[in-house]
Amino acid sequence: MYSRRFSNGIYNFNQRAGRRTSLRSKVIVLILVFLLTHLFLRYFFPSDERLYVYYNVDELKIEKSINNPTFALIVSYQRAGFALISGLLSHADESFYIPEPLQILLPHGYYKENMVCFENSTYRRPTSLVERYDFMITAIHRLFTCQCSKLHPLSKALLVKSTLTVYKKIIYKHCHSVHSASIPNCIEELEELCKSKSHRIITTERSSMENVIDMMEYWPNLKVVHIIRDPRGMVHSRLKVGQDFQLAFNLENHANELCSRMYEDVKFSWYMQRKFNDRISAVSYEAFVESPYSGTSFLYDFLNMLYTDKVWYRVYHSTHEKEEVGWSYNSTRVAYSWRTHLEFQTVKIIDHSCHDMYRVYGYDEMTSAAELQNQSVPTRHKVQFNLKGFL
C-alpha cells in the first residue's frame, strides 16, 4: 500500500513538474517571438520617430543655383543679445524669421556632433532621438526649405507659438491661439509665407559652430552670423533673470564652460571664413548697440536685403524707447549695466576663467573696483585675431 502511494506521489510530482516545464517553455517562446517581432517592425517598418531624421546625407544637400533663396543662420548664446539683432532682421520685407526652433527640444544644453553639452562643464551622449545631431540638422533643413509640416510635433507647437507675435497681423486667419486643433492650419499658412520670401532666417543658441561646417557644405546658399558678447554681460543677464541657481552657486565652472565654448566657436568661425570667404560674419553685441544703425546696415548688406525707412524706424524704437519709470531706455547702457551691478570679486572670477577667450575677442580684464565702476575705462579693444565682421 505504501509503495503504491509513493509511486502515485512520484507520478503526480512528475506531472506537475512537466506542466511547469511546458509553461516555462511557452513563456520563453512567446518572449522570443515578441522580441523578434519588435526587431522586425523596428527595422523594416520604421516608427514615426524615425520620420524626423534623415539617414541619407544626400537628402540634406541643395544644389547651387542663382534661384535659391538665401538661408541665414544666426548663431549665438543664451542672453547674448541676439533677440535685438535678429529681431531687426525680421522686419525686412523679404525675410521669413524663425526664432530658436530647438528650444523646447533641448532646453538646457547645446548640440555637438554625437554629444550634448551644458554650461556647467558637463556633457553626455544623447539619450533620445531629439537630442541627436542628425535630428537637429534635419529640423533646420526642413525649416529652411519650408517643410514645416514634417517637423516633430513638439517643434510644430513651438514654431506656431514663437512666430505668432511676429506674423499675427499677416497670417493666422484660423489660428489666433496655439491649441493643438488649430496647429495644422497655422503650419500650412506658415509654409506658404515661408515659400513667398527670398530670405529665411533662423536663430539658435543650441548649436556649436562646429556643427555649422556641415551646413555650409550642404547648403551653398547659407550665410551665417555669429553673435558674440562680453561674458560678463551674459552672466549678469542670466543672474538677473534667475535663469540658473547653479550658475550663482558655481560661477567659476559656468564661466569656464561658457568661455571655452566661445573660444572653440571662434576657431571654427575663423576656419569657415577662410574656407567659405564671404558667407560667414562675426558681430559683436557691444559694437552693435554702440552703433545700431551702422550695425543693422552692415547685416543687411551682408545678407543682401534692402535697408528701408521702415527698418530704420525699427532700429530707433528698439534702441531708444520712451521714458519708463523716470529714465530713458538706451541699449548701450543696458549692455554695460554689468559694470554697476556685478561685484568686483565676481568680475575677477569671470576674467580669470575667460582669459584666453578675451585675447581672441578683444575684451579687457578689470584690475580694480574703481576701474570697474569708471564708465570711461573701455572694456574691449580692437580685435587682433583675424576675424571679419562688425566688431
Q: What DSSP string describes 57-96?
A: GGGT-----TTSPEEEEEE--TTSSHHHHHHHHTTSTTEE
Residue 38 has pLDDT above 80, yes or no: no
Least confident of 7-21, 28-42, 134-148, 223-237: 7-21
**More confident: 45 or 320:** 320
CB 113 within 8 Å of CB 211: yes
Q: Could you tell me the pTM of the whole model?
A: 0.82
CATH value at residue 370: 3.40.50.300
DSSP assignment letter at 376: T
Residue given cell 558678447 in the structure block: 229
Residues 164 and 297 in one domain: yes
Residues 195 and 151 in one domain: yes
Residues 16 and 85 in one domain: no
Output the nine-digit C-alpha cell for 278.
Answer: 564671404
pLDDT tens-digit map of 337-363: 999 999 999 999 999 999 989 988 899
Output the nine-digit C-alpha cell for 235.
Answer: 552672466
pLDDT tens-digit map of 259-316: 999 999 999 999 999 999 889 999 999 999 999 999 999 999 999 999 999 999 889 8
- Does 52 fall in a domain? no
- Domain enclosing residue 7, as ranges: 2-45
Q: Using CA atoms, how far apart are residues 391 and 388, in angstroms rounded to an integer?
A: 8
CB 232 within 8 Å of CB 125: no
- Does 382 fall in a domain? yes
* pLDDT mean over 14-31: 62
- Does 50 fall in a domain? no
pLDDT tens-digit map of 95-131: 999 988 888 888 888 998 888 988 777 889 998 888 8
- The structural domain count of the chain equals 2
Residues 6+ apart with CB under 8 A from 192: 171
- Does 28 fall in a domain? yes
Residue 243 has pLDDT above 50, yes or no: yes
* pLDDT mean over 178-206: 84
**Pairing relation of β-strands 199-204 and 70-75?**
parallel
Residues 35 and 63 in one domain: no
Listed residue (250, 238, 270) closest to 353, CA to CA: 250
Residues 150 and 40 in one domain: no
Residue 96 is predicted with a pLDDT of 92
Percent of the chain at pLDDT exceeding 70: 79
